[in-house]
């Protein structure tokens, strides 16, 4: 009969220590926002409002808002 502790005997203990030689990273909020804008998709309600603001009809707005492939790319302009 094996002792259940035998499984743990071969494991190396892992301890987390802070690295004192790494400098603190400070990012400006504008930089963080610009990165988030690149990777986070526009929310459906925001997308609906944007489409309505340019004068699209309700059918077009509904189609564009519900279709996941239609994402806003700020680099393409408005």
Q: For 47-60, write each residue's pLDDT tens digit.
A: 899 899 999 999 99
Q: Of 76, 71, 78, 75, which is closest to residue 40 (Cα–Cα)?
A: 71
Domain locations along the chain: 21-76
Lookup: tokens for 71: 């994402």
**Are 42 and 69 within 8 A, CB to CB?**
no
Q: For 30-47, write each residue's pLDDT tens digit.
A: 999 888 888 777 788 888
Place of tokens 């806003």: 72
Predicted confidence (pLDDT) at residue 77 exceeds the cutoff of 90: no
- Which residues fall within 8 angstroms of residue 66, CB to CB, at 6 or more apart? 44
pLDDT score recorded for residue 68: 64
């Amino acid at each position: 009969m094996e002792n259940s502790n035998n499984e743990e005997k071969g494991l190396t203990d892992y301890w987390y220590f802070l690295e004192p030689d790494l400098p603190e990273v400070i990012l400006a909020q504008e930089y963080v926002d610009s990165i988030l804008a690149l990777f986070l998709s526009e929310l459906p309600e925001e997308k609906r409002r944007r489409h309505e603001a340019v004068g699209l009809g309700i059918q077009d707005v509904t189609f564009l808002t519900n279709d996941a492939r239609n994402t806003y790319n700020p680099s393409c302009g408005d």
